Amino acid sequence: MSNDWDRGLPYHRGMTSLALHPPRGVPLKQDASIIGLVGLAHASSHFAHLLLPLMFPVFMKEFGLSYSQLGLLMTTFFVVSGLGQAVAGFLVDRLGARPLLYLAQGIFVLACSAAAMVTGYTGLLLVAALAGLGNATFHPVDFTILNQRVSAPRLGYAFSAHGLTGNLGWAAAPVFFAAISRLSTWRTAYLAAAVMYVCILMLLILQRDKLSTHTAVQHPDAPLEHSMAFMKLPVVWWCFSFFLLSTMTLAVVQSFSVSILKAMHDVSFEAATLTLTAYMLCGALGMFVGGFVAARTADSNRVVALAMASGAVLLALCGTGWLGARLSMVVLASTGFAIGIGGPSRDMMIKKATPKGAIGRVYGMVYSGLDVGSALSPL
């Protein structure tokens, strides 16, 4: 994808920004610290994805909720997150990434505290909305910090680490809630999660010098519509559509692969669940390998295309039923690796299509496709 903003669109006449990257030769320790802090924040957002779903059996028992009511909780989460993410991108460009990162952590503290005191379905809807609002800021915030603060040669590794830490956040949530709920109660688990978010917030504040970003400066004589100029470019909507469709696929695998494997091949619940776990682990491994690929390959588009095409072919083979039970499970797991490899290059692809001063807006709009895809996938 070429950078259409470099072709003389009026955007550059109204908006300026400092360089996206620090000079080459930045010490590894400095880049690693920034990547680690952003990764921790990203893990905390993925942890928040599971604040409610992990307790669905408890809520059904204690509050007498139906599956449709539980589904509405997650729809609320993703709708608020998707709308908020697009708006957050504009705020990041205007205010900087760091204030919104702090705000998001504070909102997660409120969401966990409210969950610990909830007494019915209305309270759970409020928790879902709060958690979605907190989650909304992370992609524009994270990628603004990484693009501006990490040296260019290490950016591919940064994107790889960003994806990996998100998966770790997903993996940590079930262990966290199961362990504390067993030792005490589910309400105590939510209070412990609130304390965890407070600790993360304090760490980010202590390391605030590593999280500062430049903001776009609007010239007084520049028309206001320039801040929306990026939405006129087809590349933004192609990327949005790519995220929407690829996330729908991931959500189908996460939500329905166990049921599909049981229906097609009559495999046991344990074997089907293990296959899904293997898919996620292979995806994480693919992201790790993909970081090296992204750092050494200039043509990010081709890497993404080959990775997604490979994943599509493998999924299609699984869907035919020709492979039988065992081979279908192996191929499905390997699909995660194929798609994972494209993850860091995908983020590089978006970065190359982003102009100076509009990182937050573009990433916010494009990555809102994740939330839209997750909301549409069950339908």
Q: What pLDDT is recorded for position 105?
A: 97
- Residue 284, classed as helix, strand or coil, is helix
Q: Which of 80-84, 216-220, 290-294 has the lowest mean pLDDT?
A: 216-220
Q: Which residues contact 204 (CB under 8 A, 6 or more apart)?
A: 37, 40, 41, 101, 102, 105, 211
- How far apart are the C-alpha atoms of 376 and 248, rounded to whole Å? 7
- Region 223-247: mean pLDDT is 73
Give the model confidence (pLDDT) of 37-51 as tens digits. Answer: 999 999 999 999 889
198/143: higher pLDDT:
198
pLDDT at 81 exceeding the cut of 80: yes
- How far apart are the C-alpha atoms of 278 and 132, rounded to whole Å? 28
- Region 2-21: mean pLDDT is 40
Three-state secondary structure of 332-378: HHHHHHHHHHHHHHHHHHHHHCCCCCCHHHHHHHHHHHHHHHHHHCC
pLDDT band at 14 (very low <50, low <70, confident <90, very high): very low
Provide the residue ranges of all domains of the chain, joining segments of one domain with +.
16-215, 228-356
Answer CATH for 16-215 from 3.90.1170.50, 2.40.37.20, 3.10.20.30, 1.20.1250.20: 1.20.1250.20
Per cent of the chain over pLDDT 90 is 34
Q: Flag whether the pTM goes above 0.85.
A: no
- How far apart are the C-alpha atoms of 141 and 102, rounded to whole Å? 10
pLDDT band at 259 (very low <50, low <70, confident <90, very high): confident
